[in-house]
Structure 1
């Protein structure tokens, strides 16, 4: 295909990446991982099998929060927050809103994504993707909480061919979104703090609008205006009005925002105006989407719904994508905030998410003429599925991501699997780490991998990590003490590590490592013969892998991990 002229450096030069890596790879033993398997087995799917005319929501399971969507012709594109994951901002393509393929990442180069010193819940927040028909260009605007970048924009003529370098935008706040009016003018709306000295309560925020110069790719200085103060009704002290998107329908302007904070009070609200600069009047039926009114112990609980974006289909119908969570039986949120979809009724003055104000169901009716192809070919899977990867392919699946730096700086792909060359940083570092991650996408799952590794010293360790952040994680791996090999399980909570269990093993050949998850119970198992698995440490709690304990905005990741700076003492 023709190279996108806006992104001449899209093809990553692997040697250059390694040369510019922030950490030097230590010359220790190599660790080779192969035959990875992830299998989900949630009751919600086994108890709710699909009929031919149905599909599941969420459409993206696991940590795919803050969705934004746009359309050009029959092509839909969707992006998500990625925080300190590298590459950043996963991007998906669909022709029907049901079947999605990941086509890559928007921020796939170190020159675009500078998160090497960021905490896991820092980095990239709330990306917005929009297509501008006037110049046939896609824009992705976001906030990069790292390296002093702040609000930024990249663009492309073709999302499948890569994106431009970063243009820093000259305004504060977070959650920017871009809007293209019928006259070709462009605007940016975003969350910001109220003017200094006017804050009325904790969580008081405002929505601002700026004119945007498409030639300079920059806001027009002095054009800013506050268009929402506090939220729908400031007398009720609403918190965290954020995630704004601006739309136009039938000559009117509609501003849709999240309100209530991304937790149990989360919701989506809507305002209308005759001008993009307001005044904006809130709808009388706000919120138009929320799950906050229902019992927490309800069956198939979906909660925290909000942070939405709308898209119009070619035949004039509307759909909305949004984030929500599905807590497990102990109300833990290990899978993080996921991407859901609902049809939107915009037959009246204001849009309303269909069945977005009643307890949500796991299944939706298929749009007319669409066939469900999830779990087939290259389409992104959902429901209960198995993802097998022998790790021998020349190109890694897009689902594999690293933390704070490029994968290419520590992996080598061989005929027998992925070789991880260990960094001299460990899992607790607020720095690039040598670990290859896959999202946990089910409350009940089983993950296994084969590891070829013989450590030469106690500073070397390789195995599996279950990772919520640098301060909350499990490490299950192989290391050495004196002349003996050991398998060890470590739990880190609030940055303080405790050895759960350790055991001396004979390591004459490859070892299989397994993580079995049932709701809040995690078990770490290993096999030395490929058939019989032995548990280490019994059942341990998944509490530290849950947002309600660990804080932050992410879901749990399962990583293939190696380090030459092992600090586990047993």
Structure 2
């Protein structure tokens, strides 16, 4: 691990050198600086359900934080999420009470670990699993990387906040691997896979497979694989996409918990039990133990798609489960993406059941005994209708600022006046690293603004805000040049086809404030030349292309501070 930390320090120094070289190479590009970023949520759900003493909000992580996995060492809990082609990858959070969460970094924070340079936004890292092995005092993060020819992989560390090892590629196919450490020190891997060739019975037929795991070699034991679930709870019902497996041990019995039904309206969580880690696994008679699929589609404060869960036991023997779900807007669109929710779990009987996981979910939960809600204070992540302000002058930018397909350090320079986003010769539509600093969208109704100091020297230069669902679905709202004049432009890209919504000639004598205001599904793009009075460009536009039900894929939308030297937006 010491060597890994040294390698990490070397990478950071090397990144600084590369960033400096990039700066030297773009001296002909106009100076541009972003400062005074502000983001404020205004969702009706939170306005209608203010927190009372003894309450907290779920989701605990709003916005695109899907596929949560959780583990505990002593009094410290750690939680990770899928990150796809976002860079760095696999955000990691810690908590001592399951309510107040603080981000301590990312698991995959080096290009040597994350090979997503040419990946679509919904490729890259899927369904990470984090587990602590008490037998060797080591944390493991195992996942599937759909990029760089890596596939299933594992990294490990003694301290999740101080860097993780290089990638160890694992020798098996399939997705969604998870690791289990038995009381006798043995380790096993379970994962989703295709059924044996020639035995597939229907579209979506999958199996759960198990392997012995060699802790010395960090590799599965060849020939040890065994199918422990075929299809799902009841193969005769043709269940689809049994996946996201985790194994737990309680009172000498082994429990296999999986998602079933696919990430969508039929999503659920199911449970099986066995006397042996290798089965046979018998499904519970009361499956599913978590789902939101049975309720009216027009229900108030709708939570849907619940599943892909992981359990953790508290020091006093209580259980909680984290899982993904969505909160669609009034037009049933999923702009925020899949978020991380939590519920207490009742394991007083034979099988665990998510408390209130089989009724329409509510936005508030009761705090665990003795826990104080520090919502957004003391470095903890905020929930509800929070406001986030960032002057963008701290050399250690907040972890919530991420890039796409490559490290943010390769294109940013933090100054006392704000952050410079040094433009790449790729634009937002490229399957390549883009020079944009992204923040997750965390509300359906929100207001966000940033101050931009920028005077483009040519029509190839543009800087501004992007509302980004993917490389083929996005809005760009920024400043560029045509002939000798400066323009502010708004472009909509849908299915890779771009359309200029509006453009307007402006005078650039000082920094411009750019603002996006969303009221449920309508988005308004506004600008101010005097820092006080805003003018709309292009009228309200639909947020449809920022939703996964229109754009496809698995991510929520992002708000980006964007710059390019390959602008292709031509003002009218």
Does the pair score TM above 0.5? yes
Q: What is the CA-CA distance between 1:377 and the residue it aligns to?
A: 1.7
**What TM-score comes out, normalization by structure 2 length?**
0.98
Give 4+ residue runs of structure 1 displaced > 6 Å after superposition: none
In 1, Cα distance between the equivalents of 2:6 and 2:170?
22
Q: What residue ranges of structure 1 are gaps of 5+ in the alignment? A: none
Deviations 1:437-467, CA, capped at 9 Å, x for gaps:
0000001100000000000000000000000
SS at match of 1:8: helix
**Residues 1:38 and 2:39 are matched in the alignment:** yes
Q: Deviations over 1:499-535 (max 9, x none)?
A: 0000000011100000001111000000000000000
Whole-angstrom CA distance in 2 between matches of 1:317 and 1:548 = 37
Deviations 1:92-130 (A, max 9, x none): 000000000000000001111110001000000000000
The yes-or-no answer on 1:402 pairing with 2:403 is yes
Post-superposition offset of 1:150 = 0.4
- Contact persistence 2:11–2:110 (CA under 8 A): no
Task: Specify the alignment match of 1:76 in structure 2.
Answer: 77
1:302: which partner in 2?
303
In the alignment, which residue of structure 2 is the partner of 1:560?
Answer: 561
Q: Distance in 1 between matches of 2:448 and 2:493?
A: 20
Is 1:10 the equivalent of 2:8? yes
Q: How far apart, in 2, do the equivalents of 1:209 and 1:86 lie?
A: 30
Q: Indicate conservation of the 8 Å contact 1:30/1:420, yes or no.
A: no
1:476-504 deviations in whole A, cap 9, x for unaligned? 00000000000000000000000000000
User: 2-side partners of 1:100 and 1:12: how far apart?
Assistant: 29
- CA 1:12/1:509 → structure 2, altered by over 3 Å: closer, same or farther? farther
Structure 2 counterpart of 1:151: 152
1:184 aligns with 2:203: no
- Give distance in 2, aligned partners of 1:235 and 1:504: 65
TM-superposition CA deviations, 1:289-331 (whole Å, max 9, x none)? 0000011111000000000000000000000000000001111
Cα 1:219–1:292, aligned 2, differ >3 Å: closer, same or farther? same
Distance 2:393 2:125 in 1: 30
TM-score normalized by the length of structure 1: 0.98
1:544 aligned residue: 545
In 2: Cα distance, 1:312 partner to 1:350 partner: 14
Give the equivalent residue in structure 2 for 1:63.
Answer: 64
Count of residues paired in the alignment: 567
* Native 8 Å contact 1:26 1:564 kept in 2: no
Q: Residue 4 of structure 1: CA displacement? A: 4.3
Secondary structure at 1:17 match in 2: helix
Alignment partner of 1:206 is 2:181: no
Residue in 2 that maps onto 1:433: 434
User: Does structure 1 retain, via aligned residues, the 8 Å contact 2:103–2:399?
Assistant: yes
- C-alpha distance in structure 2 between counterparts of 1:379 and 1:446, whole Å: 22
After superposition, the Cα gap between the structure-2 partners of 1:67 and 1:296, relative to the gap in structure 1 and judged at 3 Å, is same
The Cα of 1:162 is off from its aligned counterpart by 0.9
Q: CA deviation at 1:160?
A: 1.3
Given the alignment of the two structures, is residue 162 of structure 1 paired with residue 163 of structure 2, yes or no? yes
The structure-2 alpha-carbon separation of the partners of 1:12 and 1:501, relative to structure 1 and needing over 3 Å to count, comes to farther
Structure 2 CA distance, aligned partners of 1:4 and 1:310? 31
Shift of 1:12: 5.5
1:44-64 superposed Cα distances (whole Å, 9 cap, x missing partner): 111111111110000000000
- 1:245 aligns with 246
**What secondary structure is seen at the aligned counterpart in 1 of 2:539?**
strand
1:268 paired with 2:269, answer yes
- Separation in 1, partners of 2:171, 2:11: 31
Preserved contact between residue 482 and residue 570 of structure 2 (Cα < 8 Å): no
Residue 19 of structure 1, CA deviation: 5.7
The aligned runs of 1:45-56 (5 Å cut-off) are: 45-56=46-57
| Alpha-carbon separation, structure 1, partners of 2:276 and 2:26 | 59
The whole-number CA distance in structure 2 between the counterparts of 1:14 and 1:289 is 43
Equivalents in 1 of 2:252, 2:73: separation in Å?
Answer: 21
| Partner secondary structure for residue 465 of structure 1 | strand
Residue 91 of structure 1: aligned partner:
92
Please give the alpha-carbon distance, in whole angstroms, between the structure 1 residues aligned to 2:545 and 2:466: 13
2:126 aligns to what?
125
The change in CA–CA distance for 1:375 and 1:433 in structure 2 (over 3 A counts) is same
Task: Verify the 8 A CA contact 2:490 2:503 in the aligned structure 1.
Answer: yes
Please give the per-residue CA displacement for 1:140-188, whole angstroms capped at 9, x wherever unaligned.
0000000000000000001111111100000011100000000000000
Whether 2:137 is the aligned partner of 1:139: answer no
Distance 1:201 1:447 in 2: 46
Deviation for aligned residue 1:9: 1.9
TM-superposed CA distance for 1:6, in Å, is: 4.5
- Looking at structure 2, the residues matched to 6 and 507 of structure 1 have their Cα atoms a distance apart, in angstroms, of 48
Deviation at 1:13, TM superposition (A): 4.1
